Amino acid sequence: MRQLLNVGDAFVISGRGIVIVARAELPEARLTAGDHFDLILPTGRRCALTALGVEQFTKCFTEATTLGILVGNQLDTVDGVIGSELWIRTY
């Protein structure tokens, strides 16, 4: 695995679930819907997740490497998600 993104925010969208907002550390970093990744919380807890949808925030932010990652109901809460690291699984 390798570090892909740092989580800056997370919120709940009614009817869709949790969206993680993260910034890529590597310019060549890519994440697409269906990719599996691990979210490592600041507490050290590791959550295995699948990206249900991925959107780039190119119109809202100055960096095209800011992503919104839909994880739906795979997480119980958004509490404690800010400051997490997202690691992509490499097989």
Whether the predicted model's global pTM rises above the 0.75 cut: yes
| Series of mean pLDDT values for 10-residue runs along the chain (91 residues) | 82 95 77 92 95 80 75 94 87 58
pLDDT at 1: 63
Q: H helices within the chain, ranges in order?
A: none
Q: Measured between alpha carbons, how far is residue 53 from residues 18, 22, 32, 60 in Å?
A: 11, 13, 7, 18
pLDDT at 18: 97
pLDDT at 52: 97
pLDDT at 23: 84
